Structure 1
Amino acid sequence: MTAVTTTTATPPGSTAPSTAEEGHRVRRRRRLSPGRRLPATRLLGPALVLVLWAAASAAGELDPGAVPAPWTVLETGARLWTEGTLADDILTSLRRAGSGFVIGLTAGILLALASGLSRTGEALIDGSVQLNRAVPTLGLIPLFILWLGIGETFKIAIIAIVVYIPIYLNTHAALSGIDHRFVELAEVQGLSRLAFIRQVVVPGALPGFFVGLRLGVTGSWLGLVVLEQINATSGLGYLMFQAQNYGQTDVILVGLVVYGIFGLVSDTAVRLIERRVLSWRRTLSS
């Protein structure tokens, strides 16, 4: 037998695509993605704000009585830390935020699972949570003071409500969005209820849960700012409230900077955990 060699004819006036041209087309297709993740890029925004703040202060464009310079705020923070005032207030705020966050996290997960995996649970829980979401949480403060007193309990309870709502909503939405074909496949495979939750429900709900977790972490700090100005004797909010009475703008900015640092660090920690736990996903951000 004679081997037949087939060649592809090139039309007159045209040339076959070269390897360089193919590589150029591939590179053009790759430009649709955001590209490689750069380290510490989320710090560029705060760093830019700090540079502009320092430049405006050095140029005399900002009133020192209204917006002190960054170095003034740093000196005030160092003085408060040396005196022990700032350290005690930070520990108090962390304890309040942590207690409320743990309670809200637990409640949000349990309610979302009960509502997302059962029609009865959804009928009993979802409407109440949606009603709770429609009521401004900080508007519940007078009622909770009457119920729980003016001490620490009502502060922790309000923080827990602020935290559990976004965790419940996003986790419940993720559970409701699980493709029904996976449920049918689990039924065909004969998975038990526990195996179904472990292999289908948990992986499907984790992306939404982490979104709610980030919102809950941020919400705990936002609620704490307000709550620590109500009949408190310690905490960052109390420190800022006292500074307001005496016109100490630099102390107020110290409290805001500490709140901002805590918020950024906690959000970054949740992002790192999410990236590690959901490393099996191939998404645009990864």
Structure 2
Amino acid sequence: MVGMMRRKELAGFLRSRRESLGPEAAGLPGGSRRRTPGLRREEVAQLSGVSVTWYTWLEQGRDITVSRQVLESLSRALQLTPAERGHLFALAGAPLPAEPARRMPVSPTLRTLLETLEPNPAHVISPCWDLLAYNRAYADLVGGLDDLPEEERNSVWLLFTRPGMRTLLVDWQCEARDILGQFRAAADKNPDDPRTTALVDALLAASPTFVSMWSAHPIRAFASATKHFDHPRAGRFSLNYTKLTVTEDVTQHLVVFLPVAEGDATALQRLAELDRPVPSRA
């Protein structure tokens, strides 16, 4: 059951949203003989499909159980925003139903941040490790990303289907098991996601190594780590790797690689300069 303080907060929240929603906005006739602003309690009850008495008890902070279906009805009737809907469920002590994952575009600010991080490699990934955006340093590190179709610009797909990744990552086997464990843990949170299902099916068909590792059911939690690279043009270097959640869209994660030592920073700078055009001589 919800505690007394939460019930009072829930009552106050419902009352505030009811009073801020005009009848016309709710599709009801306005009229001029209204003693209170916004909707009446009986109107909210009607729109939500509950009894007036029950809704009145809710606004009075009575100790009653509220189902998720009723909370959804109240959310629609009061035209709550996603943030307000989440607050309503929290006050009622009910778990917020999972919503289908929506791919939102990477914001211009985040793209600018990726560019600002140069010459340090960085990219933005989705829950199924699709590469949503990346800077030139990351493209130079992995190579050939711009030429790939969108569905193949995926960290897990590249790891298991691109032969060059096995030589780029010094300890490919360890890296593959670790990343696959993180991928599987993320997939468990969205078992019905069609993109994840399609990706796994494609990998099962394309890579016997993936089949073997996937059947072992690896599970890993993310942890910042040091990754060792052997780049065909920039040589050997080590980078610290971390991942940050994007607050404006928590399905997006910013992944950043930073040099461990001065020699690693020099290698990244050398990699960046390799693709710079040579200035022409007059």
TM band (smaller chain)? under 0.3
The structure carrying a bigger strand percent of its residues is: 2
By relative contact order (CA 8 Å, sep 6+), the higher-ranking structure is: 1
Rg bigger for which structure? 1
Q: TM-score, normalised to structure 1's length? A: 0.24
The structure carrying a bigger helix percent of its residues is: 1
Q: TM-score, normalised to structure 2's length? A: 0.24
